[in-house]
Amino acid sequence: MNAYRNDLADIALTSCVIASHYAEPVSRRVAAPSALRLAPGTDANIVMEIAAGEPFEMLDDSLGWAWGYAGKQRRVGYVRSEALAAQ
């Protein structure tokens, strides 16, 4: 439920976890229904389905996959970058 990896964590977690870098989340909206996945890739397990219009707090966007937390539950995972739109 907390957005952290060894290389990157939400800046709100600086007192809780150690990571190489910390980032301020960038607010986005899910533009089309999408799967939130455990890892970047269409073969990764699905954490949850995200409806269009749901919020997504993005911490990283690389190689076509955005990493952050989604929806009101703030579940952490990866979603295709093209599925996101600016607020």
- Whole-number Å distance between alpha carbons of 27 and 38: 20
CATH superfamily of this structure's domain 24-86: SH3 Domains (2.30.30.40)
**Over the stretch 25-83, which tens digit does the pLDDT of each residue have?**
999 999 999 999 999 999 999 999 999 999 999 999 999 999 999 988 889 999 999 99
pTM of the shown model:
0.90
